Amino acid sequence: MKKAEIGTDIEKARELLRHEQLVAVPTETVYGLAGNALSEKAVAEIFAVKNRPAFDPLIIHVYPVERIGDWVTDFPEPARLLARAFMPGPLTLLLPKNPRIPDLTTSGSPVVAIRSPDHPLTQELLAGLEFPLAAPSANPFGYISPTTANHVARQLGDKIPYILDGGPCSVGIESTIIGWEVNGRPTLYRKGGIPAEEIEKVIGKITVQPHSTSNPLAPGMLKSHYAPRIPLVIGIIPELLDRYPAQRIGILSFRKTYPDIPAEHQVVLSQTGDLKEATRNLFSGLRHLDTQDIDLIIAEFLPESGLGAAINDRLRRAAATD
């Protein structure tokens, strides 16, 4: 296939989707690789283009928020409270799926992951479609998620016909995933754009499910993920600089710059220590460092609260080797 066209033609995107083709779409979190969630052909193509294992289910996207009710068979009160508080926005709910959603979309699970994105282009696209969109992050499986149309074009540009360009993502990290499978108790399966603390203010105490590589059915929990090609280690930056004197180093720091390292080998997430800004810059920063002529990326953890906890989760997974 020739290189994907990049543009803002919503009607063109809709026509392609109606013909079971794939379109990359902007959301407030990351760009998604979208296809008709009710079409087995489109869904199979999503798995193929991403090189994603068939056991890893897809999130479906709807707009307006009220349409969630069309695709689930039960919408319990705590889920409604969260939807009212955070949607449209970076929150995904796991709810019992309507049988019209193919098993292929949910990898055989009776539960569907559903969210309503907060991006005007994709909202307009969804509002005019007769079906929801299945859309995993638009990156090859295991690599860093894309936060601009160009990120998508560089990696999937020869595999899809169209990329809807909505500018850089305003949140910059994937949605928070909440489900109730374990004894009906609220469980956080993936840290993301809505901090756990904010969720607890609405529905009370939630359980955080730790990562696991041994149980790939646990959602979003594959450990080695979001990984750059260049090895990444996390610690105290000055100590790591001393430990690896012979290596060409790239630095991903929260606030500080380091005078002995070339500027293009450094990414500062937020000089003022603003967590939202840091989140927005995380994936593009990792991508930038991953294109530099360096041997090792060193990074530091952020304070482990609010969005800092979600950033730290992605850093841990970017550093994981298994």
Question: What are the residues facing 114 on neighbouring strands?
Answer: 60, 93
Q: At what angle do helices 10-18 and 120-127 cross, to 10 degrees?
A: 50
Q: Is the Cβ of residue 165 or residue 300 nearer to ligand TXA in the bound state?
A: 165
Residue 219 binds what, of ligand TXA, Mg ion, none (CB under 5 to 8 Å, by partner type)?
ligand TXA
**Considering only CA atoms, which of 213, 201, 203, 214 is closest in space to residue 93?**
203
Residue 93 binds what, of Mg ion, ligand TXA, none (CB under 5 to 8 Å, by partner type)?
none
Q: Which residue is nearest to ligand TXA (CB)?
A: 219
Q: Is the Cβ of residue 240 or residue 319 nearer to Mg ion in the bound state?
A: 319
Cβ-Cβ contacts under 8 Å for 79 (sequence gap 6 or more): 93, 95, 178, 180
Contact 149, 31 (CB under 8 A): yes
Q: Is the Cβ of residue 94 or residue 125 nearer to ligand TXA in the bound state?
A: 94
Alpha helices in 157-231 (DSSP H): 196-203
**Residue of 105, 107, 137, 176 that binds Mg ion (CB under 5 A):** 137
Q: Which residue is nearest to Mg ion (CB)?
A: 137
Residue 91 binds what, of Mg ion, ligand TXA, none (CB under 5 to 8 Å, by partner type)?
none
Q: Is the Cβ of residue 300 or residue 313 nearer to ligand TXA in the bound state?
A: 313
> What is the side-by-side order of every strand in the sheet holding 249-253?
232-234, 296-299, 249-253, 266-268
Rounded to a whole number of angstroms, the minimum distance from the CB of residue 172 to ligand TXA is: 10
Contact 116, 62 (CB under 8 A): yes
Q: Is the Cβ of residue 132 or residue 250 nearer to ligand TXA in the bound state?
A: 132
Rounded to a whole number of angstroms, the minimum distance from the CB of residue 264 to Mg ion is: 27
Q: Is the Cβ of residue 57 or residue 78 nearer to Mg ion in the bound state?
A: 57
Annotate each residue in 42-81 with x if it binds Mg ion (CB under 5 A) or - if it does not, as one string. Answer: ----------------------------------------
Q: Is the Cβ of residue 14 or residue 317 nearer to Mg ion in the bound state?
A: 317
Residues that contact Mg ion, how many (by CB under 5 A): 1
Contact 46, 70 (CB under 8 A): no
**Considering only CA atoms, which of 312, 160, 304 is closest in space to residue 234?**
312
Residue 146 phi, psi (nearest 5): -85, 140
**Considering only CA atoms, which of 276, 274, 136 is closest in space to residue 194?**
276
Binding residues for ligand TXA, per CB under 6 A? 27, 29-30, 32, 56-59, 90, 92, 94, 106, 109, 111-113, 117, 135-137, 174-175, 177, 219-220
Rounded to a whole number of angstroms, the minimum distance from the CB of residue 145 to ligand TXA is: 7
Q: Is the Cβ of residue 57 or residue 157 nearer to ligand TXA in the bound state?
A: 57
Alpha helices in the chain (DSSP H): 10-18, 40-50, 68-71, 77-86, 120-127, 149-156, 196-203, 237-243, 275-290, 307-319
Q: Which stretch binds Mg ion (CB under 5 A): 133-141, 160-168, 206-214, 239-247?
A: 133-141
Rounded to a whole number of angstroms, the minimum distance from the CB of residue 247 to Mg ion is: 29
Residue 57 binds what, of Mg ion, ligand TXA, none (CB under 5 to 8 Å, by partner type)?
ligand TXA
Amino acid type, 237 = I
Whether residue 88 has a cis bond before it, omega within 30° of 0: yes
Which residues in this chain contact Mg ion in the complex, by CB under 5 A?
Answer: 137
